[in-house]
Amino acid sequence: MTKTQTTNAQDARTGIQPTLNPGDEAPPGTMGTGEDVCPDCHGKGRIDGAPCATCGGSGTITRAIGGA
Ligand SMILES: [Zn+2]
């Protein structure tokens, strides 16, 4: 008859993960966060000609502002 498939396999663990760079403190769009200039490359996006790993070459990171 009706086969109810309870396979809600869309777990958050393997689900949608916004691009999070090592320098990001929270996923973009998170409440209480804002963009800040990358402390490693100072907004240039690269260090010694190589893409900055901290910000992923974007020059900015997502920082937790810690409002509360
Ligand atoms: Zn950087």
Q: Are 22 and 54 in contact (CB under 8 A)?
A: yes
Q: Model confidence over 25-54: pLDDT tens digits? A: 888 778 889 899 999 999 999 999 999 999
| Distance of CA 38 from the midpoint of ligand 1 (Å) | 5
Ligand 1 is an ion; residues with CB less than 5 A from it: 38, 40-41, 52, 54-55
Task: For the chain, give the longest Cα–Cα distance.
Answer: 65
Q: Please name which of 35, 37, 36, 40 lies closest in space to residue 53, comparing C-alpha atoms.
A: 40
* Residue that wins the pLDDT comparison between 65 and 8: 65
User: How many angstroms separate the alpha carbon of residue 41 from the centre of ligand 1?
Assistant: 4
Cα 11 to middle of ligand 1, angstroms: 31
User: For residue 45, what are its two tokens?
Assistant: 């996006």
Ligand 1 centre to CA of 26 (Å) is 15
